[in-house]
Amino acid sequence: MVLTLEMKTLQNIIVLVNEAEYKIREYEEAITDIMVDLSLEYGIVVSIYTQNVLDYNKQAKVLPFLMNVQREGIRLR
């Protein structure tokens, strides 16, 4: 038996935190569980990226993906 899911859209979520990178990695498994739950519940592909605020601010000026986030992203507070 083959189970296929029709994924309608891709959602990228970036979570900026004021923690050291090693602390952020401690939550990787929980974040993966959230991605899977959202993907299955809503039939979408969800990618959650967590990053330190200081690193993001440096990299957003040079990395194309983050430059695109700056340009097209929706800020939530």
pLDDT tens across 28-67, in order? Answer: 999 999 999 988 898 888 888 899 999 999 999 999 988 9
Domain that holds residue 68: 10-72
State both tokens at 24.
């952020």
Q: Is residue 59 part of a domain?
A: yes
Distance CA 76, CA 72 (A): 13
Contact in structure between 50 and 17 (CB atoms under 8 Å): yes
| Whole-prediction pTM | 0.70
Residue 18 confidence (pLDDT) above 80: yes
Contact in structure between 51 and 13 (CB atoms under 8 Å): no
Residue 6 confidence (pLDDT) above 60: no
Q: Is residue 61 part of a domain?
A: yes
Q: Is residue 24 part of a domain?
A: yes
Q: Is residue 40 part of a domain?
A: yes
Q: Is residue 4 part of a domain?
A: no
Helix ranges restricted to H, the chain: 21-25, 28-42, 53-59, 64-72
Other Cβ atoms less than 10 A from the Cβ of 66: the count is 20
Q: Is residue 5 part of a domain?
A: no
Give the chain's domain count. 1
